[in-house]
């Protein structure tokens, strides 16, 4: 499939939304934060970014389905195309004044990710992946690291917003913090998956993650030579409830370790 138009529209929308997010980042007031749940917040910036991206997709691809973090699922249920959008990945970072936040846009055809885009406005970094093509950062090819020992690996982790997912993440931290070179929570799953793809880290582990958080990153990691599985080692898909995205060389050892952590 030729997805040149889809890619161009996604890039344009992400950069437009990113420019707006940077402006709102400077003037953001935590008093405007709204709780979606005990551990999950939404800001006016989330909604404004989502509006920009949804408007662009609906205008150019009105027959496509869309699954977005704030709005949920909309569109033509008979369509085989699904856009997955996280308009502000790292909302808590954004609200705290931490500039490590991103925009993630993915396109799936019949539940297979064929386009993945991650844009980091503060760094002006555009990560892009298409099925069967090399992953890129600002148009330059990237690839995962060749590190093969967990003891020498830099790992990150995140979690969904349910109590079981958080508890599992805490248990993973307790175990792997002592085994790896380091294990940290950065606060934007998309950025952390991009870091795996460009060899800044070796893996990210996320229990209970929704698909819009990792759909774009999953293709990016795979097209950079890595691998994405669920927490039991099965190939990650849009129905998976957790993900391990890694450089492939530490994958088997990492999966065995995580499977034994409850």
**Integer distance in angstroms from the first to the last C-alpha of the chain?**
41
**Residue 197 near residue 145, CB atoms below 8 Å:** no
Going by the annotation, the residues of the binding site are 69, 86, 88-89, 213
Q: Quickly count: other Cβ atoms within 10 Å of residue 171's Cβ.
A: 14
Edge-first strand listing for the sheet containing 227-229:
182-184, 154-157, 203-207, 242-246, 227-229
Return the H-helix or E-strand segment holding 128: strand 125-130
Strand partners, 72: 68
Report the residue count for the chain. 262
For residue 236, give the DSSP letter.
Answer: P
Going by the annotation, the residues of the binding site for Mg(2+) are 69, 86, 88-89, 213
Q: Distance (Å, rounded) from C-alpha 258 to C-alpha 262?
A: 8
Retrieve residue 106's tokens. 């993915």
**Residue 154 near residue 201, CB atoms below 8 Å:** yes
Q: Three-state SS for 15?
A: helix
Q: Quickly count: other Cβ atoms within 10 Å of residue 37's Cβ.
A: 8
């Amino acid at each position: 499939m030729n997805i040149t138009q889809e890619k161009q529209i996604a890039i344009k929308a992400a950069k437009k939304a990113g420019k707006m997010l940077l402006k709102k980042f400077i003037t953001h007031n935590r008093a405007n934060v709204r709780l979606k749940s005990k551990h999950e917040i939404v800001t006016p910036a989330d909604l404004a970014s989502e509006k920009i991206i949804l408007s662009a997709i609906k205008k150019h691809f009105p027959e496509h389905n869309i699954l977005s973090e704030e709005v949920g699922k909309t569109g033509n249920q008979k369509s085989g195309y699904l856009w997955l959008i996280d308009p502000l990945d790292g909302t808590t970072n954004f609200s705290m004044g931490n500039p490590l936040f991103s925009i993630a846009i993915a396109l799936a055809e019949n539940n297979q990710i064929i386009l993945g885009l991650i844009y980091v406005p503060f760094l002006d970094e555009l990560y892009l992946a298409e099925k069967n093509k090399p992953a890129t950062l600002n148009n330059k090819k990237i690839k995962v690291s060749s590190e093969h020992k967990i003891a020498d690996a830099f790992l990150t982790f995140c979690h969904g917003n349910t109590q079981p997912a958080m508890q599992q993440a805490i248990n993973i931290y307790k175990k792997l913090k002592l085994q790896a070179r380091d294990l940290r929570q950065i606060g934007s799953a998309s950025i952390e998956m991009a870091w795996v793809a460009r060899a800044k880290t070796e893996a990210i582990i996320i229990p209970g993650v929704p698909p819009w958080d990792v759909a774009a990153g999953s293709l990016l990691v795979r097209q950079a030579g890595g691998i994405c599985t669920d927490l039991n080692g099965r190939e990650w898909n849009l129905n998976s409830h957790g993900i391990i995205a890694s450089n492939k060389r530490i994958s088997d050892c990492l999966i065995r370790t995580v499977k034994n952590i409850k």
